[in-house]
Amino acid sequence: MLKLISLPLPTVSLIFLAVTLIPCYIKYKKLKKKYNEQVLFKERHNCVVMYTAQLGMKGWPPSEARICPNIIEKDCLDRMYEPILYFINTSVITLDIAYMMISINKIYDALFEARKRGVEIRLIMNFDHCKSDLSSIRKCINQGIKVQLYISKKTNLESIMHYKSMLKDYEENKQGYVMAGSMNLTKTAFLDNYEDLVFMSDLNIARAIHTNFEKCWRYIKTENENLVNKSTLMELNILEDN
């Protein structure tokens, strides 16, 4: 027969407390982590990030400390790309992107991963500034990202698609997150220029950006269906029926 082990009452009490409190503590830690992530998400969608030539980046929550470019370059760039990558990586429903040019592979990779998660992505870019990196545009199309390239009727760059904004997870009368600023998404902009990025969760601003994006998308799509533009895009194998 098995003999029951007799434990002192204080020991039994401690075991009972441990069995009771440890799961509560684990649950508390999970809830606290989730709450902190929600607070950080809100802060990072309502802030201004400044990039200063040779002095780095400032204003990205949770720290106001400046991230300087005088450390190892790869680590520096990864840190300085973080605001844009965070905006893309936390998208759930949609991303509407209008940029004159994007030439950073990590940003394209983040877009491809978002698309794999099921995020619907539309991308508007300026045709003349995409010519040096058409392979990335083709990959976007192959990944299921809808693309429209603005082709100017002028030949001297007097007319360009100069927008620099992203709209994330917009739902009418519910929510929308905006990233807008002065910079194109190029390495030069991050390291050598004076630039800014503004992140906003104001619904009125999101609605205005959404309305403008829809008008711009329809206009460029119609223009790209005409014979001249369509022939240009077909010749370069960057035509998509959106």
**What string of pLDDT tens digits covers the 242 residues of the chain?**
445 456 565 776 667 667 777 777 777 778 888 888 899 999 999 999 999 987 889 999 998 778 776 554 556 778 889 999 999 999 999 999 999 999 999 999 999 999 999 999 999 999 999 888 899 999 999 999 999 999 998 766 678 999 999 999 999 999 999 999 999 999 889 888 999 999 999 999 999 999 999 999 999 999 999 999 999 999 888 876 54
- Residue ranges of the domains in the chain? 25-235
Q: Does an H or E element contain 192, and which?
A: helix 187-192
190 contacts: CB under 8 Å, gap ≥ 6: 51, 57, 77, 80, 81, 183
Give this prediction's pTM.
Answer: 0.86
CATH 3.30.870.10 fits 25-235, yes or no: yes
